[in-house]
Amino acid sequence: MSAFARRLAATAAALAVLFLAGVQLERHRTQFDLTADDHLTLSDQTRQVVKAVHSPTTIVVFLRRGEAGRAEAAALLSRYRRLNRRISFRVTDPDEAPGQVRRLNVDPALGGVAIAAGSRSEQVPLASEQDITAGLARLLRPGDATVCFATGHGEVETGLETGEGLSQAAGLLRVNGYKVETVDLLADPNVPARCRSLIVATPTAPLGQAGANMKAWLDGGGRVLFLADPVSTVDLNEVLGPYGLGLDRGIVLEGDDGSRLKDDPITLVLRDYRSASPIVRRLPPAVLPGAQAVSQVDVDQNATVAVARSSAKSYLERQPGQPSFDPATDRPGPLVVAATVEQPRNEGGRIVRPRLAVIGDVDFATNSFLGEAGNSRLFIQTVDWLTLRSDLVSVDPNIPDFRPLELTRSRLGYARLLSGVVVPGLFLLAGALVWAVRRTR
Protein backbone atom coordinates (compact mmCIF):
# COMPACT_ATOMS: atom_id res chain seq x y z
CA MET A 1 0.00 0.00 0.00
CA SER A 2 1.35 3.40 -0.99
CA ALA A 3 2.00 6.16 1.54
CA PHE A 4 -0.91 8.18 0.09
CA ALA A 5 -3.30 5.25 0.53
CA ARG A 6 -2.17 4.76 4.11
CA ARG A 7 -2.74 8.45 4.89
CA LEU A 8 -6.18 8.28 3.25
CA ALA A 9 -7.15 5.19 5.27
CA ALA A 10 -5.92 6.76 8.52
CA THR A 11 -7.90 9.93 7.77
CA ALA A 12 -11.04 7.93 7.00
CA ALA A 13 -10.64 5.92 10.22
CA ALA A 14 -10.18 9.10 12.26
CA LEU A 15 -13.29 10.66 10.70
CA ALA A 16 -15.29 7.50 11.44
CA VAL A 17 -14.18 7.54 15.07
CA LEU A 18 -15.10 11.21 15.38
CA PHE A 19 -18.50 10.55 13.77
CA LEU A 20 -19.30 7.67 16.13
CA ALA A 21 -18.13 9.69 19.13
CA GLY A 22 -20.38 12.56 18.06
CA VAL A 23 -23.37 10.22 17.74
CA GLN A 24 -22.78 8.82 21.24
CA LEU A 25 -22.35 12.29 22.72
CA GLU A 26 -25.60 13.40 21.06
CA ARG A 27 -27.44 10.42 22.53
CA HIS A 28 -26.00 10.85 26.00
CA ARG A 29 -25.53 14.58 26.20
CA THR A 30 -24.34 15.74 29.58
CA GLN A 31 -24.55 19.36 30.60
CA PHE A 32 -22.83 20.98 33.51
CA ASP A 33 -24.52 23.80 35.40
CA LEU A 34 -21.75 26.13 36.55
CA THR A 35 -24.08 28.79 37.97
CA ALA A 36 -23.56 29.49 41.66
CA ASP A 37 -27.13 28.49 42.65
CA ASP A 38 -27.78 25.81 39.96
CA HIS A 39 -30.69 27.82 38.59
CA LEU A 40 -30.16 26.28 35.12
CA THR A 41 -30.88 22.83 36.56
CA LEU A 42 -34.42 21.53 36.94
CA SER A 43 -35.48 21.10 40.55
CA ASP A 44 -35.96 17.71 42.19
CA GLN A 45 -39.72 18.29 42.31
CA THR A 46 -39.80 18.92 38.55
CA ARG A 47 -37.78 15.77 37.93
CA GLN A 48 -40.29 13.69 39.87
CA VAL A 49 -43.23 15.15 37.95
CA VAL A 50 -41.50 14.71 34.57
CA LYS A 51 -40.65 11.07 35.33
CA ALA A 52 -44.36 10.43 35.94
CA VAL A 53 -45.19 11.34 32.31
CA HIS A 54 -45.87 7.98 30.61
CA SER A 55 -47.67 9.08 27.44
CA PRO A 56 -46.65 11.40 24.56
CA THR A 57 -46.96 14.98 25.78
CA THR A 58 -46.47 18.15 23.75
CA ILE A 59 -45.61 21.57 25.15
CA VAL A 60 -46.30 24.48 22.79
CA VAL A 61 -45.05 27.96 23.67
CA PHE A 62 -46.82 30.77 21.80
CA LEU A 63 -44.49 33.74 21.36
CA ARG A 64 -44.43 36.11 18.42
CA ARG A 65 -41.24 36.51 16.41
CA GLY A 66 -39.16 39.25 17.92
CA GLU A 67 -40.63 38.79 21.40
CA ALA A 68 -38.15 38.31 24.20
CA GLY A 69 -37.87 34.89 25.76
CA ARG A 70 -38.03 32.58 22.73
CA ALA A 71 -34.47 31.28 23.12
CA GLU A 72 -34.85 30.96 26.90
CA ALA A 73 -38.10 29.01 26.50
CA ALA A 74 -36.50 26.60 24.03
CA ALA A 75 -33.51 26.08 26.33
CA LEU A 76 -35.77 25.40 29.33
CA LEU A 77 -37.98 22.94 27.44
CA SER A 78 -34.97 21.10 26.06
CA ARG A 79 -34.15 20.18 29.68
CA TYR A 80 -37.60 18.65 30.06
CA ARG A 81 -37.06 16.77 26.79
CA ARG A 82 -33.72 15.36 27.95
CA LEU A 83 -35.34 14.05 31.15
CA ASN A 84 -38.21 12.32 29.34
CA ARG A 85 -38.26 11.60 25.60
CA ARG A 86 -42.05 11.33 25.71
CA ILE A 87 -42.10 15.12 26.04
CA SER A 88 -41.77 17.18 22.86
CA PHE A 89 -41.98 20.95 22.47
CA ARG A 90 -42.37 23.78 19.95
CA VAL A 91 -42.00 27.54 20.13
CA THR A 92 -44.62 28.93 17.74
CA ASP A 93 -45.82 32.35 16.58
CA PRO A 94 -49.59 32.42 17.30
CA ASP A 95 -50.18 34.47 14.13
CA GLU A 96 -48.69 31.67 12.05
CA ALA A 97 -50.64 28.83 13.70
CA PRO A 98 -54.28 29.98 14.18
CA GLY A 99 -55.53 26.37 14.01
CA GLN A 100 -53.36 25.32 16.95
CA VAL A 101 -54.41 28.41 18.89
CA ARG A 102 -58.09 27.48 18.54
CA ARG A 103 -57.54 23.75 19.18
CA LEU A 104 -55.53 24.38 22.35
CA ASN A 105 -57.85 27.18 23.53
CA VAL A 106 -55.09 29.80 23.79
CA ASP A 107 -55.81 33.52 23.74
CA PRO A 108 -53.78 34.79 20.74
CA ALA A 109 -53.56 38.29 22.23
CA LEU A 110 -51.94 37.04 25.41
CA GLY A 111 -50.06 34.00 24.10
CA GLY A 112 -49.03 31.54 26.77
CA VAL A 113 -48.13 27.87 26.96
CA ALA A 114 -50.32 24.87 26.16
CA ILE A 115 -49.50 21.37 27.43
CA ALA A 116 -51.38 18.55 25.70
CA ALA A 117 -51.52 14.78 26.19
CA GLY A 118 -54.13 12.84 24.25
CA SER A 119 -57.47 14.64 24.48
CA ARG A 120 -56.54 16.63 27.59
CA SER A 121 -54.73 19.96 27.70
CA GLU A 122 -53.66 22.55 30.25
CA GLN A 123 -52.79 26.20 29.77
CA VAL A 124 -50.22 28.15 31.77
CA PRO A 125 -49.33 31.83 31.40
CA LEU A 126 -45.52 31.77 31.23
CA ALA A 127 -42.74 29.53 29.95
CA SER A 128 -41.22 29.23 33.43
CA GLU A 129 -40.29 26.08 35.29
CA GLN A 130 -42.89 26.71 37.99
CA ASP A 131 -45.76 27.20 35.51
CA ILE A 132 -44.80 24.36 33.17
CA THR A 133 -44.25 21.82 35.96
CA ALA A 134 -47.51 22.87 37.62
CA GLY A 135 -49.29 22.40 34.28
CA LEU A 136 -47.79 18.94 33.87
CA ALA A 137 -48.86 18.05 37.42
CA ARG A 138 -52.43 19.17 36.68
CA LEU A 139 -52.42 17.15 33.48
CA LEU A 140 -51.36 14.04 35.37
CA ARG A 141 -53.99 14.46 38.07
CA PRO A 142 -57.22 12.47 37.64
CA GLY A 143 -60.06 14.72 36.54
CA ASP A 144 -62.18 14.05 39.63
CA ALA A 145 -59.55 14.85 42.27
CA THR A 146 -61.67 17.11 44.48
CA VAL A 147 -60.41 18.16 47.91
CA CYS A 148 -63.09 19.43 50.31
CA PHE A 149 -62.52 21.71 53.30
CA ALA A 150 -64.99 21.18 56.13
CA THR A 151 -66.82 24.24 57.50
CA GLY A 152 -69.67 24.83 59.92
CA HIS A 153 -67.89 24.02 63.18
CA GLY A 154 -65.50 26.99 63.43
CA GLU A 155 -62.79 25.56 61.18
CA VAL A 156 -60.05 27.79 59.75
CA GLU A 157 -61.41 29.28 56.53
CA THR A 158 -59.98 28.94 53.01
CA GLY A 159 -61.51 32.27 52.02
CA LEU A 160 -59.62 34.15 54.72
CA GLU A 161 -56.63 35.96 53.20
CA THR A 162 -55.12 37.20 56.46
CA GLY A 163 -52.19 35.42 58.08
CA GLU A 164 -54.35 32.91 59.96
CA GLY A 165 -56.37 31.87 56.88
CA LEU A 166 -55.92 28.95 54.47
CA SER A 167 -56.41 30.79 51.18
CA GLN A 168 -52.83 30.12 50.05
CA ALA A 169 -53.15 26.42 50.90
CA ALA A 170 -56.28 26.24 48.75
CA GLY A 171 -54.44 28.07 45.95
CA LEU A 172 -51.53 25.64 46.23
CA LEU A 173 -53.92 22.73 45.76
CA ARG A 174 -55.40 24.36 42.66
CA VAL A 175 -51.95 24.98 41.19
CA ASN A 176 -51.19 21.29 41.67
CA GLY A 177 -54.29 20.22 39.77
CA TYR A 178 -56.96 19.74 42.43
CA LYS A 179 -60.49 21.01 42.51
CA VAL A 180 -61.13 22.73 45.85
CA GLU A 181 -64.53 23.04 47.51
CA THR A 182 -65.86 23.93 50.95
CA VAL A 183 -68.64 21.81 52.45
CA ASP A 184 -70.81 22.98 55.34
CA LEU A 185 -71.14 19.91 57.54
CA LEU A 186 -73.37 21.77 59.98
CA ALA A 187 -76.07 22.41 57.38
CA ASP A 188 -75.66 18.89 55.98
CA PRO A 189 -73.54 16.49 58.10
CA ASN A 190 -72.97 14.07 55.20
CA VAL A 191 -69.67 14.24 53.34
CA PRO A 192 -70.48 14.62 49.61
CA ALA A 193 -69.56 11.69 47.39
CA ARG A 194 -67.63 14.01 45.05
CA CYS A 195 -65.01 14.65 47.76
CA ARG A 196 -61.94 12.48 47.19
CA SER A 197 -60.52 13.72 50.50
CA LEU A 198 -61.65 15.95 53.35
CA ILE A 199 -59.60 18.47 55.34
CA VAL A 200 -60.79 19.34 58.85
CA ALA A 201 -58.78 22.34 60.07
CA THR A 202 -59.09 22.81 63.83
CA PRO A 203 -62.83 22.94 64.55
CA THR A 204 -63.77 25.02 67.57
CA ALA A 205 -67.21 23.46 68.12
CA PRO A 206 -68.07 19.77 68.66
CA LEU A 207 -68.63 17.91 65.41
CA GLY A 208 -71.75 16.12 66.64
CA GLN A 209 -73.55 14.24 63.90
CA ALA A 210 -70.95 15.36 61.36
CA GLY A 211 -68.30 13.43 63.33
CA ALA A 212 -70.38 10.24 63.30
CA ASN A 213 -71.06 10.58 59.57
CA MET A 214 -67.38 11.33 58.96
CA LYS A 215 -66.48 8.10 60.72
CA ALA A 216 -68.96 6.18 58.55
CA TRP A 217 -67.55 7.85 55.42
CA LEU A 218 -64.04 6.84 56.46
CA ASP A 219 -65.17 3.25 57.02
CA GLY A 220 -66.44 3.19 53.45
CA GLY A 221 -63.04 4.19 52.02
CA GLY A 222 -62.95 7.93 52.72
CA ARG A 223 -59.78 9.98 53.23
CA VAL A 224 -59.48 12.63 55.95
CA LEU A 225 -56.74 15.04 57.03
CA PHE A 226 -57.13 16.48 60.54
CA LEU A 227 -55.11 19.64 61.23
CA ALA A 228 -55.22 19.90 65.01
CA ASP A 229 -53.92 22.64 67.28
CA PRO A 230 -53.25 23.07 71.02
CA VAL A 231 -55.75 25.95 71.26
CA SER A 232 -58.69 23.78 70.20
CA THR A 233 -60.71 22.07 72.93
CA VAL A 234 -62.79 19.91 70.57
CA ASP A 235 -62.43 16.18 71.15
CA LEU A 236 -61.61 14.52 67.81
CA ASN A 237 -60.79 11.15 69.31
CA GLU A 238 -64.27 9.82 68.54
CA VAL A 239 -63.21 9.76 64.88
CA LEU A 240 -59.51 9.03 65.40
CA GLY A 241 -59.73 6.38 68.14
CA PRO A 242 -61.15 3.48 66.09
CA TYR A 243 -58.25 3.94 63.67
CA GLY A 244 -55.54 3.76 66.33
CA LEU A 245 -54.81 7.48 66.58
CA GLY A 246 -55.60 10.18 69.09
CA LEU A 247 -54.68 13.69 70.21
CA ASP A 248 -52.97 14.25 73.54
CA ARG A 249 -54.00 17.56 75.13
CA GLY A 250 -51.11 19.96 75.73
CA ILE A 251 -48.38 21.76 73.79
CA VAL A 252 -45.01 20.34 72.74
CA LEU A 253 -42.04 22.25 74.13
CA GLU A 254 -38.72 21.59 72.40
CA GLY A 255 -35.43 21.61 74.31
CA ASP A 256 -33.08 20.82 71.42
CA ASP A 257 -31.66 23.99 69.83
CA GLY A 258 -31.39 22.23 66.46
CA SER A 259 -35.07 21.25 66.49
CA ARG A 260 -36.63 24.62 67.27
CA LEU A 261 -36.34 28.26 66.33
CA LYS A 262 -33.79 30.17 68.38
CA ASP A 263 -35.04 30.86 71.93
CA ASP A 264 -38.53 29.64 70.93
CA PRO A 265 -39.32 26.24 72.47
CA ILE A 266 -42.87 26.27 71.05
CA THR A 267 -41.93 26.51 67.34
CA LEU A 268 -40.72 23.08 66.26
CA VAL A 269 -38.33 22.48 63.38
CA LEU A 270 -39.12 18.95 62.18
CA ARG A 271 -36.06 16.97 61.17
CA ASP A 272 -36.87 13.49 62.43
CA TYR A 273 -38.52 11.75 59.48
CA ARG A 274 -37.63 8.18 60.31
CA SER A 275 -40.47 6.93 58.17
CA ALA A 276 -40.88 5.42 54.70
CA SER A 277 -44.13 7.33 54.21
CA PRO A 278 -44.38 9.21 50.88
CA ILE A 279 -45.59 12.20 52.90
CA VAL A 280 -42.03 12.92 54.06
CA ARG A 281 -40.12 11.58 51.05
CA ARG A 282 -37.27 14.01 50.28
CA LEU A 283 -38.94 16.52 52.59
CA PRO A 284 -36.73 19.33 53.94
CA PRO A 285 -37.20 20.51 57.53
CA ALA A 286 -40.67 21.88 58.26
CA VAL A 287 -41.73 24.45 60.85
CA LEU A 288 -44.66 23.85 63.23
CA PRO A 289 -45.43 27.02 65.24
CA GLY A 290 -47.09 25.25 68.19
CA ALA A 291 -48.13 21.60 68.09
CA GLN A 292 -49.83 19.04 70.26
CA ALA A 293 -48.86 15.39 70.41
CA VAL A 294 -50.48 12.65 68.36
CA SER A 295 -50.93 9.41 70.29
CA GLN A 296 -50.87 5.94 68.75
CA VAL A 297 -53.43 3.60 70.28
CA ASP A 298 -52.99 -0.17 70.09
CA VAL A 299 -56.03 -1.24 68.07
CA ASP A 300 -56.29 -4.57 66.24
CA GLN A 301 -55.74 -4.48 62.46
CA ASN A 302 -54.50 -0.87 62.52
CA ALA A 303 -50.98 -0.10 61.35
CA THR A 304 -50.35 3.49 62.39
CA VAL A 305 -47.24 5.23 61.06
CA ALA A 306 -45.40 7.95 62.98
CA VAL A 307 -44.53 10.41 60.22
CA ALA A 308 -42.71 13.11 62.23
CA ARG A 309 -41.43 13.44 65.79
CA SER A 310 -39.98 16.03 68.09
CA SER A 311 -36.56 15.40 69.63
CA ALA A 312 -35.75 13.38 72.74
CA LYS A 313 -35.26 16.68 74.63
CA SER A 314 -38.85 17.74 74.10
CA TYR A 315 -41.86 17.14 76.32
CA LEU A 316 -45.63 17.65 76.29
CA GLU A 317 -46.56 20.48 78.63
CA ARG A 318 -50.09 20.01 79.97
CA GLN A 319 -50.11 23.30 81.89
CA PRO A 320 -48.67 25.92 79.47
CA GLY A 321 -49.22 28.70 81.99
CA GLN A 322 -46.49 27.16 84.18
CA PRO A 323 -43.97 25.64 81.73
CA SER A 324 -41.74 23.20 83.56
CA PHE A 325 -41.46 19.47 83.15
CA ASP A 326 -43.52 17.56 85.70
CA PRO A 327 -42.96 13.81 85.37
CA ALA A 328 -46.26 13.15 87.10
CA THR A 329 -48.37 14.84 84.42
CA ASP A 330 -46.20 15.74 81.41
CA ARG A 331 -45.00 13.33 78.71
CA PRO A 332 -41.28 13.17 77.85
CA GLY A 333 -40.12 13.19 74.22
CA PRO A 334 -39.66 12.20 71.54
CA LEU A 335 -43.29 12.91 70.69
CA VAL A 336 -45.19 12.07 67.52
CA VAL A 337 -46.60 15.26 65.96
CA ALA A 338 -47.79 13.79 62.64
CA ALA A 339 -49.11 10.30 61.96
CA THR A 340 -51.07 8.33 59.37
CA VAL A 341 -53.02 5.12 59.17
CA GLU A 342 -54.34 3.07 56.26
CA GLN A 343 -56.77 0.20 56.81
CA PRO A 344 -57.32 -1.73 53.56
CA ARG A 345 -59.86 -4.52 53.49
CA ASN A 346 -61.63 -6.69 50.93
CA GLU A 347 -65.37 -6.20 50.60
CA GLY A 348 -66.87 -8.58 48.09
CA GLY A 349 -63.85 -8.49 45.82
CA ARG A 350 -63.48 -4.70 46.09
CA ILE A 351 -60.51 -3.29 47.99
CA VAL A 352 -61.56 -0.47 50.32
CA ARG A 353 -58.72 1.75 51.57
CA PRO A 354 -59.66 4.24 54.31
CA ARG A 355 -56.80 6.67 54.91
CA LEU A 356 -56.37 9.06 57.78
CA ALA A 357 -53.66 11.64 58.48
CA VAL A 358 -53.30 13.77 61.60
CA ILE A 359 -50.90 16.69 62.07
CA GLY A 360 -50.81 18.28 65.50
CA ASP A 361 -50.63 21.85 64.18
CA VAL A 362 -52.71 23.93 61.78
CA ASP A 363 -50.53 27.05 61.77
CA PHE A 364 -47.91 25.53 59.45
CA ALA A 365 -50.50 25.48 56.63
CA THR A 366 -51.82 29.01 57.19
CA ASN A 367 -50.91 31.98 55.04
CA SER A 368 -48.32 33.17 57.57
CA PHE A 369 -46.25 29.98 57.52
CA LEU A 370 -47.08 27.96 54.38
CA GLY A 371 -44.11 29.44 52.53
CA GLU A 372 -41.65 28.65 55.31
CA ALA A 373 -39.08 25.83 54.91
CA GLY A 374 -40.75 22.60 53.73
CA ASN A 375 -44.27 23.47 54.93
CA SER A 376 -45.88 23.68 51.49
CA ARG A 377 -44.45 20.30 50.52
CA LEU A 378 -45.53 18.71 53.79
CA PHE A 379 -49.07 19.94 53.15
CA ILE A 380 -49.34 19.00 49.48
CA GLN A 381 -47.62 15.62 49.85
CA THR A 382 -50.01 14.74 52.68
CA VAL A 383 -52.97 15.59 50.47
CA ASP A 384 -51.38 13.62 47.61
CA TRP A 385 -51.01 10.53 49.79
CA LEU A 386 -54.63 10.81 50.92
CA THR A 387 -56.19 11.57 47.57
CA LEU A 388 -54.20 9.93 44.79
CA ARG A 389 -53.09 6.46 43.91
CA SER A 390 -49.68 7.76 42.85
CA ASP A 391 -47.75 10.60 44.41
CA LEU A 392 -46.81 13.89 42.85
CA VAL A 393 -45.28 16.83 44.61
CA SER A 394 -45.55 20.55 44.93
CA VAL A 395 -43.54 22.73 42.62
CA ASP A 396 -40.55 24.68 43.97
CA PRO A 397 -38.41 25.87 41.04
CA ASN A 398 -34.77 26.87 41.21
CA ILE A 399 -34.85 30.67 41.09
CA PRO A 400 -31.59 32.48 40.35
CA ASP A 401 -30.33 34.89 42.96
CA PHE A 402 -30.30 38.57 42.04
CA ARG A 403 -26.64 39.40 41.41
CA PRO A 404 -26.32 43.04 40.31
CA LEU A 405 -23.06 44.16 38.71
CA GLU A 406 -22.08 47.54 40.09
CA LEU A 407 -19.57 49.24 37.80
CA THR A 408 -17.65 51.50 40.12
CA ARG A 409 -15.02 53.86 38.70
CA SER A 410 -12.20 51.49 39.59
CA ARG A 411 -13.99 48.46 38.09
CA LEU A 412 -14.76 50.41 34.91
CA GLY A 413 -11.10 51.42 34.61
CA TYR A 414 -10.03 47.80 35.10
CA ALA A 415 -12.45 46.63 32.39
CA ARG A 416 -11.13 49.24 29.95
CA LEU A 417 -7.54 48.27 30.70
CA LEU A 418 -8.35 44.58 30.19
CA SER A 419 -10.26 45.01 26.93
CA GLY A 420 -8.19 47.85 25.43
CA VAL A 421 -4.64 46.96 26.48
CA VAL A 422 -4.19 43.47 27.98
CA VAL A 423 -6.16 41.39 25.45
CA PRO A 424 -4.74 43.15 22.34
CA GLY A 425 -1.28 42.99 23.90
CA LEU A 426 -1.60 39.20 24.31
CA PHE A 427 -2.53 38.85 20.64
CA LEU A 428 0.47 40.95 19.62
CA LEU A 429 2.75 38.90 21.86
CA ALA A 430 1.45 35.64 20.38
CA GLY A 431 2.03 37.00 16.86
CA ALA A 432 5.56 38.08 17.73
CA LEU A 433 6.38 34.66 19.15
CA VAL A 434 5.10 32.91 15.99
CA TRP A 435 7.16 35.30 13.82
CA ALA A 436 10.26 34.69 15.93
CA VAL A 437 9.90 30.90 15.73
CA ARG A 438 9.52 31.01 11.97
CA ARG A 439 12.60 33.26 11.61
CA THR A 440 14.77 30.67 13.39
CA ARG A 441 13.84 27.83 10.98
The string of DSSP letters for 264-295 reads EEEEEEE-B-----GGGTTPPPEEEES--EEE
Confidence band of 362 (pLDDT split at 50, 70, 90) = very high
Do 84 and 54 form a contact (C-beta atoms < 8 A)? no
Q: What's the one-letter identity of residue 93? A: D
Q: Are residues 206 and 111 in the same domain?
A: no
- Per-residue model confidence (pLDDT) at position 93: 87
Among residues 101, 192, 109, the alpha carbon closest in space to that of 146 is found at 192
Rounded to the nearest 10 degrees, the angle between the axes of helix 70-83 and helix 129-140 is: 40
pLDDT higher than 80, residue 297: no
**Residue 99 covered by a domain:** yes
pLDDT for residue 28: 53
Last residue of a domain, one of 357, 387, 417: 387
Domain span including residue 128: 44-139
Give the 3-state secondary structure of 408-437: CHHHHHHHHHHHHHHHHHHHHHHHHHHHHH
Digit-coded pLDDT (tens) for 161-194: 898 999 999 998 887 778 899 999 999 999 999 9
70 with 210, same domain: the answer is no
Instruction: Give the phi and the psi of residue 93 in degrees, each rounded to 5.
Output: -80, 120
How many structural domains are present in the chain? Answer: 2
Do residue 133 and residue 247 come from a single domain? no
Of 366, 387, 408, the domain-final residue: 387
Residues 161, 309 share a domain: yes
Q: Are residues 128 and 168 in the same domain?
A: no
230 shares a domain with 146: yes
pTM of the model: 0.66
Q: What span, in angstroms and rounded, lies between the C-alpha atoms of 56 and 61?
A: 17
Give the orientation angle of helix 44-51 with respect to helix 70-83, to 10 degrees. Answer: 60
Question: Which CATH number do you get for residue 212?
Answer: 3.40.50.880
Q: Are residues 146 and 134 in the same domain?
A: no
Residue 43 CA to residue 129 CA, distance in Å, equals 9
Mean pLDDT of the chain: 82
Residue 395 above 80 pLDDT? no
| Same domain (yes/no): 120, 217 | no
Residues 128 and 269 in one domain: no
- Of 101, 119, 139, which marks where a domain is finished? 139
Write down the number of H helices and E strands in the chain: 11, 21
